[in-house]
Structure 1
Amino acid sequence: MGMGRAGSYYPGAERLISPVLYLLVLCTISCVTHIGEGQVQTPQCRIQKCTTDFVSLTSHLNPSLDGFDTEFCKALRAYSACTQRTSKSCRGNLVFHSAMLGISDLMSQRNCSNDGPTSSTHPVIPIEPCNYHSQHHHASQPGVPEHPRPTYLFCGLFGDPHLRTFKDHFQTCKVEGAWPLIDNNYLSVQVTNVPVVYGSSATATNKVTIIFKPYQECTDQKVYQAITDDLPAAFVDGTISGGDSETRSIWILEKTPGRHVEIHAAYIGVNIIIRQQGRYLTLAVRMPEELAMTFDETQDLQLCMNGCPTSERIDQEGHLHLPMQGLQQAGLQQQARAEAQRGLFTLESASSKCREQLEVKDIYFHSCVFDLLTTGDANFTTAAYNALKDMEILHPKRERWHIFPNSAAGLRPFSLLSHALLVVFLLVALL
């Protein structure tokens, strides 16, 4: 009697077993084939993922419970849509065509309409193997191993150049020539700095080279290179993205032609912003800490990780003196006079210019003043402003956005005595 009632409660349930088992076998064949010789399914054909997602969406459903038809039809429509999206890359694939027939058979048996919702009431969010964010932010699903939320780090370089390290230390450095900012198992970022003003130690970045290293099946090696007046919207090989035809694991986004480019590497959770302002480039990077720490002792020279070598520092333990003060203290009056005649800014006018775009008098404001007094180039004002905005976009901790001059990593505050000495010196130099 019990078995009879169950059969009459959901008539036709036994007819469902065969097609579902058929699809499970297809998934198994697909997985084995992919792991084996790779001749039946190419890496570009994603029918294996479509089948696996369908099995995940339906494995918990019970034909004897209310709502089974609705949920099963939703999963079937999602399965059908997934196969349609991969139809171009799966053309000629036996598993793909078998799956299509199986879907058609099941939809006919369950009287599923082709039109309708495809999301389940209790959706299982698929975890993309080439999406770092997906792997770490959807790990709370049933049956999925728990992963701690990743900690992200920020590094920025702009202006003279001014460096903000992964540890939020702020430095101003010479570092003329080619220097590595980042160098680990996943990513390499190198900058080249050239002198800005004759007779000064000030340099600025005119070349950026970024190497995304090969990673599993997510991407081959991708190289991006930018130089002054050539900020391309493509990698060196001419492509604008990487990964298979269905899911991009890395891509370039051109925000402003020739002036602003962003690179998103989803497979390692990295975002990079590159800009050109005037004749020089700025760079901002956000990266997961666990990946940034994957390097060996031969990769210890990383400016973002360890800061600039002491011999390359312009600031003194984080305190940055104004360039005119340094010249006066060194007794180089002739050079100071030439600088004053050439430059367009006094301390007052430089501060006023920087206040036009930088409202908070933090390290970005004081770096702006320093750069204007050093170079006389007003483009450094916008460079500091953009560096601040890029930091606000990428830096994970809002409470650390602003570093002020009286902090250990900031600049030495401008005292009234320093102001007075500078004004007197400028008047003497101009006589």
Structure 2
Amino acid sequence: MGTPARFARPCRSISAVLLLEMLFLLLFCRHVSTHCKISRCNSEYLAATQDVRGPSTTAAYCTALRSYSRCTRRTARTCRGNLAYHSAVYGIEDLMIQNNCSREGPTSPPWPPAPEPNRQSFESLDICDYEKSYAHKHSRPPAYQHCATFGDPHVRTFSDEFHTCRVQGSWPLLDNHYLFVQATSHPIAEGSNATAVGKLTIIFKDVKECIDQKVYQAEIGDLPAAFADGSTNGGERPGGNSLAIRERSPGRHVEIRATYIGTTIAVRQAGEQLSFSIRAAEEVASSFTEEQDLQLCVGGCPPSQRLSRSACCHGRPDPAVEKARRLCRGKLPTEDVYFQACVFDVVTSGDANFSLAARDAFEDARTFQTDFRKLHIFRTDAAASPGGSPLLLLLPVAISGLRSNLYTSLFTGY
């Protein structure tokens, strides 16, 4: 991808340069439809300007911009509703004006058609790299889903529902053909209905071509950077390194990457509770039978186990609630469900460390949630039917103009 220096030489508008650079990033972040060929136009422009030097720099850039414009016109029909396409058209026009480029003039010859892929190379592809295998099979990258549990515990399901649960004892978060994840909860205070996860067990099931079965266990005060057998990968099989564990922060944060199933897991400890976050390929997350019907990441908490967060923190003035709200405002960017969960946990537990759990869960969501519009969930308990699923409002972040939208989605994750 291009560097700021290369674009800055012939341009007087930093905003136009920033716009195109953000566009190039967007094109490699899987937001472009496989039918829209705007990424090819981008690649042609980068190749044409890669080695531009000397006094004829502006003329060379004008030639490349005219070619870029011609390429976007050829793909206009299939890219009509594509944000990256419209951003490219806007950026090209801006740069042509800034460099006094005429619309008529020489253009670079188009690239020759891409050669047909070698079928034999597909067959020799490492089957323990899920993303590559899926992309070759389907001609598109896989879709991903995110689930998490933290604090009370609160559960964010793969379908972006958000529940607060009592669930004392052991409950499965996941139970499919590839993974089994069990969380064991305990009361966070004597006589309280609120609970927290004190133990996590994660089983990576045997996949003949790639890994041996591996078990990971974490408890309060014991967050190991290895599997139960002491290993840090998937074993001696050829694809053993497609499962790997590493310590991101000693005693606080462990990350497990399972590239053979397109999955990344984060396990954290904050105070006296553990949290779990996962980004899993959609195909993997849905690979279970009817008998494997109890999974908190799939169906959320059973209705009988759900708690209302408004019971502790709304409708009456309370110094403890206001103190918790101030603490949580310092940890989270907006008053969404992560903020509500933070306030609930700090009030019911009396432990300020629970605000760190909410912050960490939000950071994991920002990393694992592939659709930034679903990062924040806004919900009021008044809108939820008793014992039923909550009303979820998946709100896109407010935008102000095309540049703001691109900058927000690419660099802040909101």
TM-score of the two chains, using structure 2 as the length reference:
0.60
Match of 1:162 among 140, 148, 154: 154
CA 1:243–1:128: 2 relative to 1, 3 Å: farther
Which of residues 247, 251, 267 in structure 2 aligns to 1:254?
Answer: 247
1:299 maps to 2:297: no
CA distance, structure 2, for counterparts of residue 352 and residue 160 of structure 1? 19
Change (3 A) 1:400 1:411: closer
* Distance in 2 between residues matched to 1:386 and 1:291, nearest whole Å: 25
- Contact 2:210/2:237 (<8 A) preserved: no
Contact 1:321–1:411 (CA under 8 A) maintained in structure 2: no
Aligned partner of 2:340 in structure 1 is 366
Q: Which amino acid aligns with 1:207?
A: K
Does the aligned pair in 1 maintain the 2:313–2:344 contact within 8 Å? no
CA positional deviation for 1:149: 2.9
In the alignment, the residues of structure 2 paired with residue 146 and residue 152 of structure 1 have an alpha-carbon distance, to the nearest angstrom, of: 15
Deviation digits for residues 250-298 of structure 1 (CA, Å, limit 9, x no counterpart) = 0001111111000001111110000000011011011111122121122
Residues 84-233 of structure 1 aligned to structure 2 (within 5 Å): 127-137=125-135, 139=136, 145-233=137-225
1:321 to 310, 333, 336: 310
Q: Would you say the 8 A contact 2:210–2:238 is kept in 1? A: no
Q: 1:47 aligns to what?
A: none
CA contact (8 A) 2:148 2:276 kept: yes
Residue type matched to 1:162 in 2?
Answer: H
Could you say which residue in structure 1 is the equivalent of 2:256? Answer: 263
Bigger CA radius of gyration: 1
Structure 1 residue 130: Cα displacement: 0.7
- Unaligned regions of 5+ residues in structure 1, if any? 1-121, 140-144, 329-339, 413-431
Q: Which amino acid aligns with 1:129?
A: I
> Which one of the candidate residues 384, 389, 394 is aligned to 2:363?
389
Q: 1:188 to 1:160 in 2, by over 3 A?
A: same
- Aligned partners of 2:374 and 2:314: how far apart in 1? 30
1:284-313 deviations in whole A, cap 9, x for unaligned?
011111122121122101000011111101
Give the CA RMSD over aligned residues. Answer: 2.4
Post-superposition offset of 1:366: 1.1
Following TM superposition, by how much is the alpha carbon of 1:346 offset from its aligned partner in structure 2, in angstroms?
Answer: 1.6
Q: Is the 8 A contact 2:175 2:292 kept in 1?
A: yes
Partner secondary structure for residue 298 of structure 1 = coil
Cα contact 2:131–2:141 (8 A) shared by 1: no
* 1:304-359 per-position Cα deviation (integer Å, ceiling 9, x unaligned): 001111110113xxxx3142669x9xxxxxxxxxxx9xxxx622111111111112
Structure 1 distance, partners of 2:245, 2:187, is 30
Rounded Cα–Cα distance in structure 2 between residues aligned with 1:173 and 1:405:
16
Instruction: Provide Cα deviations, 1:388-415, integer angstroms capped at 9, x if missing partner.
Output: 0011111111110001135764799xxx
1:356 corresponds, among 330, 350, 375, to 330
Q: How far apart, in 2, do the equivalents of 1:168 and 1:304 lie?
A: 9
Supply the AA of the counterpart residue of 2:127: P
Q: Which runs of 5+ in 2 are unaligned?
A: 1-116, 385-389, 394-414
Letter in 1 for 2:185: N
**Which is worse superposed, 240-249 or 181-190?**
240-249
- Partner residue in 1 for 2:271: 278
